[in-house]
């Protein structure tokens, strides 16, 4: 699942169209221009829509648009029919507002397309690392709505794109991502549909409005957060050539609400795949050490996994039964008798000739 579980795919009678972000157990933010009468469901917490089982699918009970959103704040709030199990995004409110500044490191996340011309449809969740260009944009020539809560980020080919509308922009502070804004539109000027930077709506600028229309108080961030890195458990792998073995992946992590993501180095002795466990298919005799890494979204830890591959056992030796073509051929005994009789007749033939000369 990774660190972007709060990312949302917004659906319209079964068809995905926009992105969004979970900000409370029953609230999702999306772009105002994404709200329509056919918007009826959201998918939360997964990474690929081709695997629906990886998501929470929750109906939308009510959608509210910011007034005159095209010219003010391009944002809408979706109230869900039931509470999501997935944890909401940590919000850049209160002390974390200080992280939303020009030049801040940021990550944009969404289910949008990936090509500069707006093409390249995808079912997968993507992320891109970029920088905040203007944390408080009041410049209409840049595509912002003066007097409102726009932010500009990205450019030079790194950008949000079609289908990312409503998706989250996180800024990084103290090694942790905080939801700063949601995707709205392309910034100006732009030569391509995607790639020249985007305009986003700041969450801190609409937080009071969200509480007013939903009755839900958004939770401010805790800026003294200190993350505890995950601690993976050591293990080793032993296998014979042609054998496939598996080992469970274990790591302790006392921080609540974090998901662990595993990666492993390539093997020269076999094939390695990761899921809920590490699976190793031995193909070559030898010894090596794999580097297994685990991250909780903030810190990474690694261990070295010794691998020992031995030769497959030799097949059992079966003694071949000795064979003799004559002794095993059908009727071999009868042929021997016939040969003996013929030889006897030949030896008697001279005596027969002498008798006829009388």
Per-residue pLDDT tens over the stretch 19-55: 999 999 999 999 999 999 999 999 999 999 999 999 9
pLDDT at 15 over 90: yes
Instruction: With beta carbons less than 8 A apart as the criterion, state whether 263 and 274 touch.
Output: yes
Q: What digits encode the pLDDT tens for the residues 279-310? A: 999 999 999 999 999 988 778 899 999 999 99
Q: Where are the domains of the chain?
A: 7-214, 231-310
CA 212 to CA 348: how far, in whole Å?
A: 132
Residue 214 phi/psi, 5° resolution?
-115, -20
| Residues 231-310, CATH architecture | Sandwich (2.60)
Q: Do 7-214 and 231-310 show the same overall fold?
A: no
Mean of the pLDDT values across residues 251-267? Answer: 86
Specify the fold of 7-214. Answer: Thrombin, subunit H (2.40.10)
pTM for this entry: 0.67
**Is the Cα torsion angle 4, 10, 13, 17 positive or negative in sign?**
negative
More confidently predicted of 263 and 336: 263
Instruction: With beta carbons less than 8 A apart as the criterion, state whether 269 and 284 touch.
Output: yes
Name the burial class of residue 261, with classes exposed (0-12), middle (13-18) and buried (19+) by CB atoms within 10 angstroms of its CB. Answer: middle
CA 344 to CA 19: how far, in whole Å?
A: 106
CA 84 to CA 62: how far, in whole Å?
A: 15
The confidence score (pLDDT) of residue 308 equals 97
Q: What are 35's two structure tokens?
A: 């709200």
224: alpha, beta or left? (left if phi > 0; alpha if psi -120 to 50): alpha
């Amino acid at each position: 699942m990774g660190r972007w579980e709060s990312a949302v795919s917004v659906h319209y009678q079964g068809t995905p169209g926009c992105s969004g972000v979970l900000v409370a157990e029953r609230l999702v933010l999306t772009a105002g221009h994404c709200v329509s009468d056919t918007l009826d469901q959201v998918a939360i917490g997964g990474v690929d829509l081709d695997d629906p089982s990886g998501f929470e699918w929750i109906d939308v009970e009510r959608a509210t648009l910011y007034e005159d959103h095209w010219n003010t704040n391009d944002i809408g709030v979706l109230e869900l029919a039931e509470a999501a199990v997935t944890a909401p995004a940590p919000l850049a409110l209160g002390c974390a507002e200080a992280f939303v500044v020009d030049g801040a490191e940021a990550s944009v996340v969404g289910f949008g397309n990936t090509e500069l011309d707006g093409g390249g449809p995808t079912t997968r969740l993507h992320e891109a690392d970029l920088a905040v260009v203007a944390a408080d944009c009041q410049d209409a020539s840049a595509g912002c709505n003066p007097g409102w809560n726009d932010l500009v980020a990205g450019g030079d080919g790194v950008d949000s794109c079609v289908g990312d509308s409503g998706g989250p922009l996180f800024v990084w502070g103290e090694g942790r991502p905080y939801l700063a804004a949601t995707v709205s539109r392309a910034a100006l000027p732009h030569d391509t549909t995607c790639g020249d930077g985007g305009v986003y709506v700041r969450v801190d600028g609409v937080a009071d409005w969200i509480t007013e229309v939903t009755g839900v108080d958004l939770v401010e961030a805790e800026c003294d957060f200190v993350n505890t890195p995950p601690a993976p458990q050591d293990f080793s792998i032993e296998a014979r050539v042609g054998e496939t073995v598996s080992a469970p992946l274990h790591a302790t992590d006392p921080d609540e609400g974090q998901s662990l993501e595993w990666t492993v180095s390539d093997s020269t002795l076999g094939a390695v795949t990761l899921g809920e466990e590490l699976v190793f298919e031995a193909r070559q005799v030898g010894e090596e050490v794999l580097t297994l890494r685990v991250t909780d979204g903030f810190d990474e830890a690694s261990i070295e996994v010794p691998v020992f591959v031995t030769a497959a056992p030799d097949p059992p030796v079966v003694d071949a039964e000795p064979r003799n073509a004559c002794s095993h051929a059908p009727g071999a005994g009868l042929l021997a008798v016939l040969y003996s009789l013929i030889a006897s007749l030949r030896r008697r033939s001279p005596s027969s000739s002498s008798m006829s000369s009388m």
